[in-house]
Structure 1
Amino acid sequence: MDDLTAVREMEADVAPLTDAARTAARARLRRAIVREGRSGALSRRIVLRVAVAGTAAAAVAGGVVVANRGGSETADTPRLTTLSAAQLLRRAADRTRADGAGIPIPRDDQYLYTRTYITRTYVKGGKRRTWTDESWMSVDGSKPSRRQEYGKVHHDPPLGEHEVMWPPTEYAKLAKWPTDPEKLLKTLNLGGGRPGKMAFGQACLLMQGPRVMPPGLQAATFEALARIPGIRIDRRAVDALGRQGVAVSYPEMDFSFIFDPKTYVYLGLRVKGSTGYPVDGKLKHRDWYHEMRAREELGVVDRIGQRP
């Protein structure tokens, strides 16, 4: 009997596992591997069971590796479990809901603090630059804010005295955004057209700026992206801090979201860009670069200069 037949017979009378059950199963397997992997005694039945828990999808095209077994391997043993880009985004949504539970809802008189680490590597010559940007954004926009972009400090006047940013940075405005993925997708798509490039680009801008998301908005953003046809995966991504990750992108877009391939934690953005200058009314590109942005910290504080 081959392994796939054994898997089908084992689970023939069992209801399909939920995502949470699959995640728990993988955690149990990793603990079993630590206990038994050194002696090579990891049972074949346990390995077959995790193949079911991971939906036995080792050959799914365009997937991301999320689990593997340790110890000795044989040719007929399932080795990898994979996720599609949409599945990865949904699990990232679940993770961000859990991680965001401890972030307090800010008062209007407080500030949203973010610290972002940025690395930029130029294609020609390989020159590398780094920045650590810190920003204190007034929650309701009634106070001046201090914002850093590539090391340069900007002192923004209160809301109403300067150009309004899009997507907004004011917490009260973001709190009005829908957390239903379908409705949020329409918002990101600026109200019309087929979901795709526009929505993906707006989601990147939303995640790029110095802002703290209201409860459920970041998770809904990932779930909205999961509904966009054509999203794809790069399994060889590295974030600005050198952490291995997996990137989710859209064709012909210069932005990618990077996630931890094991925990699904959001690590940051990958960007391709260039410096430019106008010539005859057109923007000429030069000095192409690859940029990584990693979120290091975010929180709520009472004044500019204070850190969580």
Structure 2
Amino acid sequence: MNELDELRDWEAGAPPLDDGTRHRARVRLFAAMNEQDAPPRPPWHRRPVLRIALAGAVAAAVTGTVLVAVDSGGQGDPRANPPASSAPSMRDVSARAVLNGAAAYAREHERTVAPRDDQFIYTKEIIKETEKGTGEVKRHVDENWRSVDGSQRSWIMEIGKGWWSEPLKENEGMWPPRDWGTLKKLPRDPEKLILSLLHKTGPDDRNDSLDEITDQEWSDIHFSLAGLLKLVPVMPEGLRPAAYEALGMIPGVKAVPDQKDAKGRTGVAITYDDPTLPEGSSGYGGFFIFDPETYRFLGFRDMRASGEGKAMKQYVQLSYLESWAITDRAKQRP
């Protein structure tokens, strides 16, 4: 069980941890793992089981509010041309080929709508969770309204349970960012994007080339890229493709064939073998599942654990984003 699962499942009779507390705990855990003094990173603003994909977009104006809904499961999706003349075999496709294909698909089909800082990003996520011991299956519908710049209370749900997350405090940040100004500053070149994520300060902060990046830094870069792709449904043009390509450049990222998504479709999954973690443990990111021919993103596969010792239960989670929107208020329906 990784440290994120431990944070999520720790309740101690109290309400769920707010995002700020999770951020600070994450930073302390990374520092302990590194066993060295390092400058603190901006807090991580996330819900561990939230996974987000971007397909097409439909825009409508409703009483002055811009609402953008995305249906990731619709029929008749246009298909991007694969990078090769024919689709690669699911048995021999490389992670880089899949992610470059995903980048090509995103470039052809991405739709850009810029939210204002005072707005909210609404997401509706469907989660199918199977307990490994009993085979019991539960379905959860999680709806979230996240403040774009973190200045307002956000409504957060996790496997069916919801709570209000308080605004960011002074000098407190979040990763991944959702405000348009910060997202636009992220490089669209995959190598420069990787270098910019080392310390969130710029591409030339410490490393001049990818060859100088350590295993721990690669682990942190993967964490940042996976979070960006999972938690930000709408990005400036070119950023999502660059993030896919950057993910494919990380040592230890691999393709796993014949993976089922939440709708029963067979795809090829991308996952990461993190060399900084103990053998047998898994880090953040799980499995990104893609259509093996078009490389369209289908959904996520993750593991979750709760309890300790003999009482511990493990769950396989399959999920996908059903829709997202930009709203003016928390709990405003698209």
Residue 93 (structure 1) aligned with residue 103 (structure 2):
yes
Any unmatched runs of 5+ in structure 1? 1-22, 27-51, 66-81
How many angstroms apart in 2 are the aligned matches of 1:162 and 1:269? Answer: 33
Query: 1:268 aligned to 2:299?
Result: yes
Q: Does 1:259 align with 2:290?
A: yes
CA distance in 1, matches of 2:229, 2:251: 20
1:234 maps onto 2:256 in alignment: yes
Report if the CA contact (8 A) 1:137-1:210 is conserved: no
The CA RMSD measured in Å over matched residues stands at 3.2
Residue of structure 2 in register with 1:215 after alignment: 237
Q: Which has the larger radius of gyration?
A: 1
1:67-110 CA deviation, whole Å, 9 max, x = no partner? xxxxxxxxxxxxxxx64220110110121222222x31112232
More helix by share: 1
Does residue 121 (structure 1) correspond to residue 147 (structure 2)? The answer is no
Higher relative contact order (CA 8 A, sep 6+): 2
Map Cα deviations across residues 13-68 of structure 1 (whole Å, 9 max, x no partner): xxxxxxxxxx6599xxxxxxxxxxxxxxxxxxxxxxxxx933xx97xxxx527xxx
Which ranges of structure 2 fall in alignment gaps of 5 or more residues? 1-79, 200-205, 207-212, 275-281
Question: What code does the residue aligned with 1:260 have?
Answer: D
Write the distance in 1 (CA, Å) between the matches of 2:178 and 2:118. 15
Aligned mates of 1:212, 1:156 — CA distance in 2: 21
Give distance in 2, aligned partners of 1:164 and 1:198: 17
Q: In the alignment, which of 315, 325, 334 is matched to residue 299 of structure 1?
A: 325
Residue number in structure 2 paired with 1:145: 154
Specify which of 174, 180, 201 is matched with residue 183 of structure 2. Answer: 174
In 1, Cα distance between the equivalents of 2:219 and 2:312?
24
Mark the CA change 1:285 to 1:222 in structure 2 (over 3 Å): closer, same or farther. farther
Contact 2:131 2:315 in 1 (8 A): yes
Evaluate the alpha carbon distance shift between residue 245 and residue 92 of structure 1 in structure 2; reply closer, same or farther with a 3 A threshold: same
Query: 1:111 deviation in Å?
Result: 1.6
Alignment of 1:22-171 (within 5 A): 24=81, 53-54=85-86, 64=90, 83-101=93-111, 103-160=112-169, 164-171=173-180
Report runs of 4+ in structure 1 exceeding 6 Å deviation: none
Residues 221 and 276 (structure 1 numbering): CA distance in 2 closer, same or farther, change over 3 Å? farther
Deviation at 1:124, TM superposition (A): 0.9
| Change over 3 Å in CA distance of 1:25–1:271 after alignment to 2 | closer
Is 1:183 matched with 2:192? yes
Given the superposition, is the C-alpha separation of residues 97 and 113 from structure 1 closer, same or farther in structure 2, using an over 3 Å criterion? Answer: farther
Alpha-carbon separation, structure 2, partners of 1:25 and 1:230: 24
Match in the other structure for 2:214: 193
The more displaced of 203-212 and 111-120 is: 203-212
Q: Give the secondary structure class of the aligned counterpart of 2:110.
A: helix
Distance 1:159 1:147, change over 3 A: same
Matches of 2:237 and 2:311, distance apart in 1: 39
Q: Is contact 2:149–2:178 with CA below 8 Å preserved after alignment?
A: no
Quick one: distance in 2 between partners of 1:225 and 1:285?
36
* Equivalent residues of 1:274, 1:285 under 8 A apart: no
Q: Which amino acid aligns with 2:98?
A: L
Question: Deviation at 1:189?
Answer: 4.8
Q: 1:132 to 1:106 in 2, by over 3 A?
A: same
2:82–2:293 Cα contact (<8 Å) kept: no
Give the match's secondary structure for 2:224. helix
Distance 1:175 1:152 in 2: 33
**Structure with greater strand share of residues:** 1
Correspondence for 2:19: none
d(CA) in 1 for partners of 2:228, 2:289? 15
The CA deviation at 1:222 is 0.7
User: How many residues matched?
Assistant: 233
Larger deviation, residues 194-203 vs 115-124: 194-203
Q: Distance in 1 between matches of 2:299 and 2:331?
A: 24
Aligned-partner Cα distance in 2 for 1:285–1:251: 28
Q: Is the 8 A contact 1:93 1:222 kept in 2?
A: yes
Q: Secondary structure at the match of 1:53?
A: coil
Q: Normalising to structure 2: TM-score of the pair?
A: 0.60
Distance 1:137 1:172, change over 3 A: farther
Aligned in 2, Cα 1:159/1:198: closer, same or farther, shift over 3 Å? closer
Q: Secondary structure at the match of 2:185?
A: coil
Equivalent residue letter for 2:131 = Y
Helix, strand or coil at the partner of 1:218: helix
d(CA) in 2 for partners of 1:107 and 1:116? 23
